[in-house]
Amino acid sequence: MSGREDKIVFFDIDGTLYDHSQTIPSSTVTAINELQNNGIHIAIATGRAPFMYKELRKQLGIQTYISFNGSYVIFNNNVIYKNPLETEKLKKLENEAIKNKHPMVFLDHNNHYANSKEHPFIKESIGSMKLHLPDYNPEFYHSEEVYQALIFCENDSEDLYISHHTHFDYVRWHQYSIDVLPNGGSKAKGVEILLDQLNIPVDNAYAFGDGLNDIEMLSYVGTGVAMGNGHKDAKEAANIVTNSVDDHGILIGLQKVGLL
């Protein structure tokens, strides 16, 4: 395929490629392999850091991906865009979080580090992704580029940050945790960058997602597909709703939009 006929499909990971046991259904693997054999571009678009899904990329043969909800974009294993959080503003945010006894985690492309040695909210939320828990290194972000931070707090506390630290955007991904992103950062921004890189029109872009951090992407692409297990707001943002991830949702969604 070439020129204006090229198509690309963006896939979220958690609740989209991965089911609730953090495994990828066999029908999803088969469907993605078929897309690749048909010359359709495949990309991952996730809130995760790259180190969190190395095995998935290897399993699916994917070298193009959007990490940190749009703040770190890779095309054919090369970095083409990065938008780190501003260190001084992050220090002010952390001071507020410490005052409120809300721990934080800071992430770059290789690892993640916490400013709290042990906290049940960190264990519960990051543990739900079956990932290793972050090591303790509260000064990590002082000297390294950080593309995303996490604040561990419940719903009734998040307005403390949304109202008083407006130089960041916030997206809740777990009942105990919110993502901290650069202003204007979203998966849609990463999608836009990759479409420009590949010279693919937005009408030829498809995206599959289930969560609140997928809403901008599902709205932006030509065809947004929400998973049956997705958040109601993601479903409202999408053009189509497919089956749940563990009920052949990817395969059936690709069939519904005519890609398979």
> What is the CA angle 68-217-131, rounded to 5?
35
pLDDT at residue 3 greater than cutoff 70 = no
Domain assignment of residue 192, given as a range: 3-82+185-256
Tokens at 95, concatenated: 């001071």
Q: Give pLDDT, residue 185.
A: 85
pLDDT band, residue 1 (cuts 50/70/90): very low
- In whole angstroms, what is the distance from residue 85 CA to residue 186 CA? 13
Q: Give pLDDT, residue 107.
A: 97
How many folded domains does the chain comprise?
2
The mean pLDDT of 120-135, rounded to a whole number, is: 92
pLDDT band, residue 90 (cuts 50/70/90): very high
* Residue 91 shares a structural domain with residue 178: yes
* Eight-class DSSP state of 233: H
Report the CATH number at residue 200.
Answer: 3.40.50.1000
Q: Which of 138, 158, 182 is the last residue of a domain?
A: 182
Question: What's the pLDDT tens digit per position in 184-198?
Answer: 889 999 999 999 999
Position 168, amino acid = F
pTM of the model: 0.89
pLDDT at residue 103 greater than cutoff 70 = yes
Per annotation, catalytic residue among 6, 12, 14, 169: 12
Q: Which of 149, 182, 215 is the last residue of a domain?
A: 182
* Residue 125 shares a structural domain with residue 212: no
pLDDT band, residue 199 (cuts 50/70/90): very high
* Residue 96 shares a structural domain with residue 178: yes
Percent of the chain with pLDDT over 90: 93
Query: What backbone torsions phi and psi does residue 255 show, to the nearest 5 degrees?
Result: -70, -40
* Residue 243 shares a structural domain with residue 117: no
* Residue 94 shares a structural domain with residue 176: yes
* Residue 168 shares a structural domain with residue 105: yes
Q: Give pLDDT, residue 207.
A: 98
Residues 250 and 210: beta-carbon distance below 8 Å: no
* Residue 109 shares a structural domain with residue 224: no
* Residue 103 shares a structural domain with residue 172: yes
Q: Give pLDDT, residue 4.
A: 44
Report the CATH number at residue 163.
Answer: 3.30.1240.10
- In whole angstroms, what is the distance from residue 182 CA to residue 195 CA? 21
Q: Give pLDDT, residue 2.
A: 42
* Residue 169 shares a structural domain with residue 191: no
* Residue 74 shares a structural domain with residue 193: yes
The mean pLDDT of 155-180, rounded to a whole number, is: 93
Q: Give pLDDT, residue 7.
A: 98
User: Would residue 6 show up in a list of annotated catalytic residues for this protein?
Assistant: no
The mean pLDDT of 58-63, rounded to a whole number, is: 97
Q: Give pLDDT, residue 5.
A: 81
* Residue 203 shares a structural domain with residue 118: no
Q: Which of 152, 182, 212 is the last residue of a domain?
A: 182
Q: Give pLDDT, residue 171.
A: 87
User: What distance separates the 2 farthest-apart alpha carbons in the chain?
Assistant: 55
* Residue 68 shares a structural domain with residue 97: no
Whole-number mean pLDDT of the chain? 95
Write down how long the chain is: 260
